């Protein structure tokens, strides 16, 4: 089932890039990110309330909360830089370079979670890195 969710994530991430490029065409990229964030906040919290999951908020540990805060800060910074890059760059290049995060996540998962680095995963990461280098060249 994870694969279908990941595929939907990739599909919506692609639409995010297209819609964001249109949205930042004549406004400040930070303002655009702020507006986008409000929409995300409303959509996600609506789902949490509709599904009755807000009742679980008391079970969040301090460590969960710390790492969720750090994740939120990282996400916010990622979005700010992504929107700025989209504003001044081509969608095809920005989205491709942004996917370097996959290779970085693979490396970090091996270091932090001791996940096994298979030959297939290593080749995939190297291909992503190679593709990023190709897109970054003039």
pLDDT tens-place string over residues 12-30: 999 999 999 999 989 999 9
pTM higher than the cut 0.85: no
Is 110's pLDDT higher than 90? yes
- Residue 136: the pLDDT is 81
Residue 92 has what DSSP assignment? H
Question: CB–CB of 83/29 below 8 Å?
Answer: yes
Looking up tokens 């096994």 gives 116
Q: Which helix (H) or strand (E) segment is 55 a member of?
A: none
Helices 2-23 & 29-50 angle (0-180, nearest 10): 140
Distance CA 121, CA 112 (A): 16
Is 137's pLDDT higher than 90? no
| 94-123 mean pLDDT | 94
């Amino acid at each position: 089932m994870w694969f279908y969710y990941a595929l939907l994530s990739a599909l919506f991430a692609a639409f995010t890039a297209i819609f964001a490029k249109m949205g930042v065409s004549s406004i400040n990229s930070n303002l655009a990110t702020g507006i986008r964030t409000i929409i995300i906040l409303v959509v996600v919290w609506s789902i949490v309330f509709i599904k009755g999951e807000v009742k679980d908020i008391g079970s969040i540990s301090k460590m969960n909360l710390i790492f969720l805060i750090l994740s939120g800060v990282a996400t916010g910074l990622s979005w700010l830089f992504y929107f700025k890059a989209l504003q001044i760059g081509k969608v095809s290049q920005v989205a491709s370079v942004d996917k370097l995060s996959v290779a970085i996540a693979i490396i970090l998962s091996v270091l932090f979670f001791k996940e096994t680095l298979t030959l297939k995963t290593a080749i995939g990461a190297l291909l992503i890195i190679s593709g990023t280098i190709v897109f970054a060249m003039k």
